[in-house]
Structure 1
Amino acid sequence: MKKLAKPLTSIKPEYDFVVIGSGYGGSIAASRMGRTGQSVCLLEKGKEFLPGEFPDTLLDASKEMNFVRGKSSSLENNGLYEFTMGNGINVFKGCGLGGTSLVNANVSIKPEERVMQDKMWPEAIRQDLASFEEGVNRAWDMLKPNPYPENKGGYPILKKTEAMRKSADYMSAPFRLLDINVNFENKTNHVGVKQAKCTNCGDCVTGCNVGAKNTTAMNYLPDAYNHGAEIFTSINVRYVKKFQAYWQVFYHPIGIGRDNFDAPLLFIKAKNVILSAGSLGSTEILFRSAKMGLKVSKRLGMRFTGNGDVLGFGYNNDERINGIGLGKKGTDSIANVGPCITSVIDLREREDLEDGMTLEEGTVPGPIRSLMPKALIAFSRLAGKDTDRGIKDYFKEKYREFRSLFLGAFHGAVAHTQIYLVMTHDDGNGTMKMDQEGKMSLNWEGVGKQEIFNKVNGEMFSATQALGGTKIPNPTWNNLMNYDLVTVHPLGGCGMGDSADKGVVDHKGQVFDGENGNTLHEGLYILDGAIIPRPVGTNPLLTISALAERSCKLIAEEKGLNLSYGYETAPNSVGEQVSGTGVQFTETMKGYIGLGESVDYEKGFEIGKLENNTFEFTLTIQTDDIDAFVADASHAGKMIGNMIAPSISQEPLSAYNGVFNLFVQDEGDEKKKRMNYSAQLISPTGQEYYFDGFKEIKNDIVVDAWKDTTTLFITLYKGTTTDGIILGKGKLVIKVTDLLKQLRTVKALHPTSKEEGRRAIGTFGKFFAGNVFETYFKL
């Protein structure tokens, strides 16, 4: 099993570039900056999913669903499927290594030239569309889009595609197969990733368990890895600050138990920061950064757009569609469902740009198919409009509904349902705001009442009429729900502009410094859908990617960096080999340090207590392979975390390059063992320190077992090694309440099964208890 993400404890304290997010913008930034030879760190909030690990049942999918109102203030929420409920519009997006590319419909389609010539774009882009086209070509070369291969390589003509052809003929509208980021042959791709061919399972939008979908986890991210970028997951970035010549990125590691101890944020230093957390994520981070003193444009949070997204259904058609994904029923054989989207009725070539739209078919992913029979019947009764009449047709429709209810979604009315995704041009006047408590809200009341959505409704009716079905609009698009919309393509919030008066970033994504003028923050960029200042009228992934490619080239040129694009050095296999199951836990210890004391720990403790020089840490300790850890005489693990020492630094110190040794034999005394702790410390004001500590486990009095295993003797040095000047010595202890919290943080890392996870934790527990017994009770 190979992964792109490194263990949390491998994060370094400083990089040339820190990229936040791993969707199209972030993965491109990590790949391209890595190719310039710079040190690159990519931080992703979500988890890493390998093919075969995505949910394939409703129960598994429900565990990955994260519902938030605005943006959640919780630091720990971390589901693959994130639903943000706003006022007037709601957002669905992906959260994992690969961003929304993990759960989108893979469509690569260029925006109309009229869209790119709109005056909402900076003049530098409008006057040089060739640079945008070059970005399109770069992205195309990496993502490898291609049309569904009808009647080639064993792939059948799909019934949902044939139905779209029939709808297009009825509407006298242009139809074509779309270029989609899906692989249709077994191969090792251009960046060294082994990919299987598509099996037509239809489960693209809950995560491709085959590995055929060309997400950024299959191309840009492995390419970044191949060029030295270090990738970390489950990292919730909160804000950025500028200090002297560096940026500081403050973050919370998710799922390691630091929240149990109310531990402060950690931070790393960067010469350059690229925000690519998506329209909602990047806007939120910039809002938080502004609260911490960063000067930004007043346009922050404005010009949010749902890209004119409309979801609808052509329910219970006379034509069979097969638009239901297989989920757990998926096999290696080529099925008759097909990728999520394969074709389009392109209605963009209209006199008025704002009236244009793209109408695409889709599939319902297998994990949620059991919900569809009852849901579609209810929606059809609530808001459906039948497109044909007649007593014979009526009984046929009722019979198909009966079959779906009793036989499931692969039968009857649901199997005869076409799913539509339409993209058009809303007015882009949504807003995002952050309140005093740090919660962000998404506001756009009445957006669904815009006239364009009535026009979309009419086109979906026509497409459904050709098939003899019942047109069902977006279930929230009704008077009872105030015509709310749902978008899967959130754009804007940090829009481009020619100055801070008109946008949050310039034409290459660099953030404006202040509320007006053209002054820019050196080294701070946003590269994702947040910078797009208007709807693009079709699937936006290629537009986002092209702009990111363009910006990366410009950034490299400005900084005098050489950016190459070849694949000559691509290896045959990519990723970190994970061979065993690790264990991690988070520990808090508190005590005192005596500044100026360089010899005696107890004396330092007493001096520190007298002077109230408190010292505490919250450290997470990880072992990559518990069996190797137990077998190794040094029993070395890695540590990361923070330390709070007000007498040294007013703000918490971040601890990196930490090493932990458990029960190491004392060379001078066979009855004595040690637990060693050491780490480099950095302060937000740029000071560097070195921490060294040990617990002494010795067979003197049995009742001292508790005291010895919970007391740490510490030394603090100036500089980055023990060669520095000793600043002080002292002692830390574990409180019983903190120990109980610590026990809740013990978890297995990358286990292959629940049983393997329990075994790894058991092995660690036996090793710890066995050493205590051997030291204190062995005769």
Structure 2
Amino acid sequence: MPAEHYDAVVVGSGFGGAVAAYRLAAAGLSVVVLERGRAFPPGAFPRSPAEMGKAFWDPREGLYGMYDVWSFGGCDSVVASGLGGGSLIYANVMLRKDEHWFVHEEQIAAGGYESWPVTRADLDPHYDAVERMLGVSPYPLDHPAFDVPKTRAMQDAAAELGLEWRLPPLAISFAPGRGAEPGIGLPIAEPSYGNVHGVTRRTCRLCGECDIGCNDGSKNSLDHTYLSAARHHGAELRTLHQARAIRPRPGGGYEVDYVRHRPKRGSGTIGCDRLVLAAGTYGTTYLLLKSRAELTGLSGTLGTRFSGNGDLLAFLLRAKDRTRTRPIDASRGPVITSAIRLADDADGPRESGRGAYIEDGGYPAFVDWLVEGADVGNEIGRAARFIAERVRALVTRDTNLSAEVAGLLGGGELSASSLPLLGMGRDVPDGELRLRGGRLDVEWNQQASDEYYGRLRATMRRIADVLGAEHAGMPSWLGKRIITVHPLGGAPMGRHPGEGVCDAYGEVFDHPGLFIADGAALPGPVGANPSLTIAALADRMSTRLLERRPVATRQRKEGQVDMSVGTGRVPAHPHAEAHGLASAGHGERTSLSFSEEMSGHIALGVDDPRSGDLAERSHGGRCTFRLTISIEDLDRFLAEPEHLARAEGWVDADFVGGRRPVERGWFNLFTSGGAPDRREMRYRLWFTGADGLPRTLAGWKDVHHGPATRLWLDTSTLFTRVMWGHVPEGEDGEAEVAGAGTLHIQPMDLAATLKSFHTQGPHGIAALARFGRFFVGQLWDVYGPG
């Protein structure tokens, strides 16, 4: 047994690890974060050429900087190292994955398919939670102090080309506080949990330095937000600690071997009940590949579904805005301010091609060396040395190029008339990560994605033409290679071990308590910038982990743990523990889940869905919900008379402001209807309308004795009330009813529901059969003769 033991160890502090650390620590677990890089408070980021030459990660060469540069057979890649992970050097864009891009069983030419076991509806509540924590807002373009030429240029180009343009949400503080007037260089009010660095932050100065570290602290990066909050709740943040190996611990839990880089090199082992891997696509997959012998039974899909999220970098040289009278001045503003969206054939029958986003870039940034290479000039010597090192790397299979890139970087500056364009989208996830001679390697090329990249390049050339610019792709001395800053896949999620390494909540199949919370878990490209989706998946994972934690987990010294941390979607039902919604440990449990969609009408001003007085439907209108019903412990669910499960998803109705996420939801299957031959299926969904007011949708299906011809009608009709407030079970009589009506499930939706059934745990097929026998048996008790 290691001398050190924690409830949870989190490896990595990026968008997955930081979210998990906060959620678990805030819920009362003892948490330690192992981050290989060091902390970078505002003012510590490198700026001079000499400092930039040391800003790379390669401990063998004595480099402990932020940028970790890799070269593989089909692509080069830049990832981050430091407290806050990728948030230190990313461009702050917080776009949600497009709803239709959560593809299901989309064929891949090389074999297999891309399939997402989660939906946009599953993630929307978690997107909301992350956006609140990171304080996102669109770029304030209409404010006089923030009007920048490059954003207007992109807006004009999109308008002329008939393309969709938007100001995406950015995790940047443009104002000193929530609801305050934007301003440049103003002191930012600190949150109640403080700041891990103890340094005053200031609002954005429009300096274009987002990707080389924000020395003003304007970026709402993870060290200023989630990690500061995690430390406030007791989490330990250990920098310059790099995980080297993981293995199961006899009796349950895991052990992590690590090395400490500085101030004095050493090593150690730490034990935990739950292990969250969030070391990034490369780091997490590498740990799993190295530990395959110890983690027996890992899915054969380990290493697969790698993609670069469609990343493509291009430059518009000597570009001007449409007046042709002044430079674009890409150095003014955040690195990214706006985005152009290219539609996807998954969006509908009128579209074709794989979708993408094109975003304006800024400088200085970590890609400056590439920009200079597009017009080499006097830098031939450094470029030649870099080529020589690349040849050596190919011969020796040394895939880490951080030191070589550090030597290539010079002190030159970008021309104010050039505009980087950053593309990303739905490339084909057919790459594979593997070990070669003990080193990580990638087998991937862009051949399957040629059509996608061709479309993206053609659109960038059209933008260049509109702006009167010269289009330049990658420097010729680098060859036709893809540079990705968004590597994804390697330990993809799936519905079963034949489809993925982990389930839809990030838990590794057949290894309870081992979770993946970073880009490695994604089964394909996000299409948009992936940071928000990775964070939302980690938030969802944390909710599941906390629901399943042992009852004996230690409580915080301040008193009872508040289980409503984060999204607040841990069920608050008074009998949740008794009904398995927060049951103790994994043990030999088998869980079951399925999806259901119902739609119909709600009449406002009507309080009885059976009154027949529904003539006022026009005052309410259509209402739809889509839910995922989750049964955590099927044995307990079948044994308990209330047959209670958790409901997640969304409610969509015009009278509540469109689609609204379910904040908490409960479902009872065939609970007593007050008579031996009567059952009810009950739904209770808490949500908040666009007006900020809470509401409850409560409904029941009345399943009662009668002719068998009534079976479909009874089981597909939901009598529904929408009430003001979040109304607990048993208090409907005191609640104010906003409207009532009936919702129905259609035959095609029923087919989708049947297809969606999924089990996890031992004897899944047998568990599904038990559920089926229970369902049919209940119907026989009601409709059978007698």
Aligned partner of 2:70 in structure 1 is 84
Which moves more between the two structures, 198-207 or 554-563?
Answer: 554-563
Amino acid at match of 2:424: M
CA positional deviation for 1:347: 1.5
Q: Which secondary structure state, in structure 2, belongs to the residue aligned with residue 420 of structure 1?
A: strand
**Is it true that 1:358 corresponds to 2:357 in the alignment?**
yes
Amino acid at match of 1:484: R
Aligned partner of 2:290 in structure 1 is 288
Which moves more between the two structures, 236-245 or 185-194?
Answer: 185-194
**Is it true that 1:235 corresponds to 2:211 in the alignment?**
no
Aligned partner of 2:270 in structure 1 is 268
Aligned equivalents of 1:98 and 1:455: distance in 2? 34
CA positional deviation for 1:448: 8.3
Q: Which secondary structure state, in structure 2, belongs to the residue aligned with residue 311 of structure 1?
A: strand
Superposition pairs for residues 592-603 of structure 1, below 5 Å? none
Aligned partner of 1:451 in structure 2 is 451
CA positional deviation for 1:296: 1.3
Superposition pairs for residues 325-474 of structure 1, below 5 Å? 325=331, 337-348=332-343, 351-352=350-351, 354-365=353-364, 375-376=374-375, 409=413, 414-435=415-436, 437-447=437-447, 450-474=450-474
CA positional deviation for 1:213: 0.1
Amino acid at match of 1:280: Y
CA positional deviation for 1:546: 1.1
CA positional deviation for 1:53: 0.1
Aligned partner of 2:501 in structure 1 is 504
Report the CA distance shift for 1:547/1:61 in structure 2 as closer, same or farther (over 3 A): same
Report the CA distance shift for 1:219/1:174 in structure 2 as closer, same or farther (over 3 A): same
Superposition pairs for residues 738-749 of structure 1, below 5 Å? none
Contact 2:212–2:364 (8 Å) recurs in 1: yes
- After superposition, the C-alpha distances for 1:578-619 in whole angstroms (9 at most, x for unaligned) are xxxxxxxxxxxxxxxxxxxxxxxxxxxxxxxxxxxxxxxxxx
Aligned partner of 1:132 in structure 2 is 123
- After superposition, the C-alpha distances for 1:640-677 in whole angstroms (9 at most, x for unaligned) are xxxxxxxxxxxxxxxxxxxxxxxxxxxxxxxxxxxxxx
Which moves more between the two structures, 460-469 or 350-359?
Answer: 350-359
CA positional deviation for 1:103: 0.1
Question: What's the TM-score, normalizing by structure 1?
Answer: 0.60
Contact 2:432–2:442 (8 Å) recurs in 1: yes
Aligned equivalents of 2:77 and 2:33: distance in 1? 24
CA positional deviation for 1:348: 2.6
Contact 1:32–1:563 (8 Å) recurs in 2: no
Aligned partner of 2:216 in structure 1 is 210
Contact 1:52–1:209 (8 Å) recurs in 2: yes
Contact 1:344–1:360 (8 Å) recurs in 2: yes
Aligned equivalents of 1:364 and 1:454: distance in 2? 25
How many aligned positions are there? Answer: 495
Structure 1, unmatched stretches of 5+, are 1-10, 326-336, 382-406, 513-519, 569-779
CA positional deviation for 1:369: 5.9
Report the CA distance shift for 1:465/1:123 in structure 2 as closer, same or farther (over 3 A): closer
1:252 to 259, 267, 273: 259
Amino acid at match of 1:470: E
1:54 to 20, 45, 48: 45
Amino acid at match of 2:467: L
- After superposition, the C-alpha distances for 1:107-142 in whole angstroms (9 at most, x for unaligned) are 00111111124336777524xx43311111111111
Q: Which secondary structure state, in structure 1, belongs to the residue aligned with residue 508 of structure 2?
A: strand
Q: Which secondary structure state, in structure 2, belongs to the residue aligned with residue 287 of structure 1?
A: helix
Aligned equivalents of 2:239 and 2:269: distance in 1? 15
Report the CA distance shift for 1:84/1:563 in structure 2 as closer, same or farther (over 3 A): farther
**Is it true that 1:529 corresponds to 2:522 in the alignment?**
no
Aligned equivalents of 1:95 and 1:131: distance in 2? 30
Aligned partner of 2:675 in structure 1 is none
CA positional deviation for 1:294: 4.1
Superposition pairs for residues 105-120 of structure 1, below 5 Å? 105-119=91-105
Contact 2:10–2:277 (8 Å) recurs in 1: yes
Aligned partner of 1:399 in structure 2 is none
CA positional deviation for 1:303: 0.6
Contact 1:88–1:483 (8 Å) recurs in 2: no
Aligned equivalents of 1:544 and 1:116: distance in 2? 14
Report the CA distance shift for 1:368/1:124 in structure 2 as closer, same or farther (over 3 A): closer
- After superposition, the C-alpha distances for 1:181-224 in whole angstroms (9 at most, x for unaligned) are 00012322434345310111100001000001011111100110
1:488 to 471, 485, 488: 485
Structure 2, unmatched stretches of 5+, are 106-112, 177-187, 381-410, 552-561, 569-786
Report the CA distance shift for 1:116/1:449 in structure 2 as closer, same or farther (over 3 A): closer
Report the CA distance shift for 1:408/1:59 in structure 2 as closer, same or farther (over 3 A): closer
Aligned partner of 1:675 in structure 2 is none
CA positional deviation for 1:538: 1.1
Aligned partner of 2:150 in structure 1 is 160
Amino acid at match of 1:200: L
Report the CA distance shift for 1:221/1:64 in structure 2 as closer, same or farther (over 3 A): same
- After superposition, the C-alpha distances for 1:225-284 in whole angstroms (9 at most, x for unaligned) are 1111011000110111112223110001113454xxxx7x41011111000001001001
Contact 1:163–1:321 (8 Å) recurs in 2: no
Report the CA distance shift for 1:272/1:76 in structure 2 as closer, same or farther (over 3 A): farther
Contact 1:94–1:100 (8 Å) recurs in 2: yes
CA positional deviation for 1:295: 3.5
Aligned equivalents of 2:455 and 2:512: distance in 1? 45
Aligned equivalents of 2:352 and 2:280: distance in 1? 26
CA positional deviation for 1:464: 0.5
- After superposition, the C-alpha distances for 1:346-388 in whole angstroms (9 at most, x for unaligned) are 123554575221110011216886985674356999xxxxxxx
CA positional deviation for 1:54: 0.5
Aligned equivalents of 1:122 and 1:427: distance in 2? 12
Aligned equivalents of 1:524 and 1:267: distance in 2? 17
Contact 1:89–1:447 (8 Å) recurs in 2: no
1:102 to 88, 91, 96: 88
- After superposition, the C-alpha distances for 1:450-485 in whole angstroms (9 at most, x for unaligned) are 12111111000001101111101133xx6x755210
Aligned partner of 2:547 in structure 1 is 557
Q: Which secondary structure state, in structure 2, belongs to the residue aligned with residue 92 of structure 1?
A: strand
Contact 2:92–2:170 (8 Å) recurs in 1: yes
- After superposition, the C-alpha distances for 1:664-717 in whole angstroms (9 at most, x for unaligned) are xxxxxxxxxxxxxxxxxxxxxxxxxxxxxxxxxxxxxxxxxxxxxxxxxxxxxx
Aligned equivalents of 1:368 and 1:440: distance in 2? 23
Report the CA distance shift for 1:58/1:228 in structure 2 as closer, same or farther (over 3 A): same
Superposition pairs for residues 635-674 of structure 1, below 5 Å? none
**Is it true that 1:146 corresponds to 2:137 in the alignment?**
yes
Q: Which secondary structure state, in structure 2, belongs to the residue aligned with residue 167 of structure 1?
A: helix
Question: What's the TM-score, normalizing by structure 2?
Answer: 0.59
CA positional deviation for 1:45: 0.6
Aligned equivalents of 1:462 and 1:121: distance in 2? 30
Contact 2:103–2:116 (8 Å) recurs in 1: no
Aligned equivalents of 2:539 and 2:92: distance in 1? 18
1:176 to 166, 177, 181: 166
- After superposition, the C-alpha distances for 1:305-354 in whole angstroms (9 at most, x for unaligned) are 100000001111233455554xxxxxxxxxxx011100011123554575
Aligned partner of 1:41 in structure 2 is 32
Contact 2:320–2:327 (8 Å) recurs in 1: no
CA positional deviation for 1:15: 0.4
CA positional deviation for 1:58: 2.1
Contact 2:278–2:284 (8 Å) recurs in 1: yes
Report the CA distance shift for 1:421/1:60 in structure 2 as closer, same or farther (over 3 A): same
Report the CA distance shift for 1:155/1:457 in structure 2 as closer, same or farther (over 3 A): same
